[in-house]
Amino acid sequence: MWWMLPVTIIVFFAVRYAAQKIKSPLFNPLVVTTLILIPILLVTGTSYSEYAGNVKILNDLLACSVVALALPLYELLPQIKERWKSILFITFTGSVAAMITGVSIAFWLGATPEIAASVLPKSVTTPIAVTLAASQEGIPSIAAFCVVLVGTLGAIVGHSILNLFRIKHHAARGLAIGTVSHAVGTARCIELDYQEGAYSSLALVLCGIITSILAPFLFPIMLLLHNLA
């Protein structure tokens, strides 16, 4: 299926061009591209495994894109040094809150431990989320779906919520979006404001590290409390 990769790239850039003209948070390139590709795969009878195998290079480039986020961080290094205590507190609190709320809501809705483990890393970037979910006996594919869903929602409504509460400081906005909406939210931040995107990139990296360290200890505790309840 040689056509899968070029079609995916063409559709994405066409949608991205349209998004620049429409300028609406609801017209998210990731969501719209997915909605266009799904019918194409269904009509052609292409399975997800076939598609994923043929566009694997795009997934491999994800790690490179995360590394590229280091450039805006470097340019804001003096400001980051001045605020490192606040930044660590915000990202630590946000990471813990994201894991606790996600797992708690999953258990409250009657989810199995397997599903709850898949929801646990919903607010970190996909490679980390998939690995963490698998380490806690979760389902990597569901974890990846949760990451995309949360990131997309953050990119679409995140800035509207911040505007509603009149939060205008670039650092605060970037850290908030990056903490809960990882790479997708960060991409939206970069489109709107370079400085905001830099802080969102920082939150993305720190939350990934913090979640990776805490998740293996936090989830067993939450599972034990759920079983005792």
Res 187: pLDDT: 81
Res 10: pLDDT: 95
Averaged confidence pLDDT in the chain: 88
User: What confidence tens digit (pLDDT) does each residue in 121-166 have?
Assistant: 998 888 889 889 999 999 988 998 899 889 888 888 898 899 999 9
User: What confidence tens digit (pLDDT) does each residue in 165-202 have?
Assistant: 999 999 999 999 999 998 888 888 888 888 898 899 88
Res 77: pLDDT: 82
Res 109: pLDDT: 94
Torsion angle of the four alpha carbons 108, 113, 115, 120, in this order, in degrees rounded to the nearest 10: 80
Sign of CA dihedral 12, 17, 22, 23: positive
Could you tell me the residue ranges of all domains in the chain? 1-54, 68-228
The secondary element (H helix, E strand) that includes residue 180 is helix 170-192
User: What confidence tens digit (pLDDT) does each residue in 77-118 have?
Assistant: 888 888 899 999 999 999 999 999 999 999 999 999 999 999
